[in-house]
A = this chain, B = another copy of it.
Amino acid sequence: MIPDGDDRERLVCPDCGFVQYENPKIVVGSVVRFEDRILMCRRAIMPRRGFWTLPAGYLELNETPMDGARREAWEEARARIDIDALLAVYDVPRISQVQLIWRATLAGTAFAPGPESLEVRLFAWEDIPWDELAFPTVRWALRDAAQIGMRQDFAARTNPQGETADG
């Protein structure tokens, strides 16, 4: 039903009137550099098992987006990272997802597959497996990161014109 003072349907308990708002989900992730290479993870889980992705996942309650990106880098790639800037905000409205992707560097040299990764590797730009990426937003983030390089002043990127995150 549509609650009083609202303008769209919500899940409302018919007994107590509690409104269960459904909210979009925030994904936090990072493009992590080590010298001239980029840290990538091969997914051990569905969807897109076996395909390559960036360390990223859902932001938890009471967590800052940067803390979330650091946590995901640890969980998926056993990597400690230093975040320096917001690279991009991508949205996938079909699945109500907003992605905050940070630019980071690997702190130290250690990394290893976490439980959700089959393999973790550093790729030179020319070796990135473009045909085996897990999601379109991974391609966007890598391309935007390459184009921005290490510039300090750059506008955070958004979805590229004319490309869909569903394809």
Contact = CB atoms under 8 A, between A and B. Distances in A.
A63 B26 contact: no
A65 B100 CA distance: 12
A62 B165 CA distance: 13
A61 interface: yes
A64 interface: yes
Contacts of A89: 65, 86, 89, 100
A60 interface: yes
Interface residues of A, number: 36
B154 A155 contact: yes
Prevailing SS type, chain A contact patch: loop
B94 A23 contact: no
A152 B154 CA distance: 8
Contacts of A86: 86, 89, 155-156, 158
A58 interface: yes
A155 B158 contact: no
Interface of A: 5, 8, 21-26, 58-67, 85-86, 89, 91, 93-94, 96, 98, 100, 115, 151-156, 158-159
24 contacts: A23-B23, A23-B25, A23-B61, A24-B59, A24-B60, A24-B61, A24-B63, A26-B26, A59-B98, A61-B96, A62-B94, A62-B96, A63-B93, A63-B96, A64-B91, A64-B93, A65-B91, A65-B98, A86-B89, A86-B156, A86-B158, A89-B89, A152-B155, A155-B156
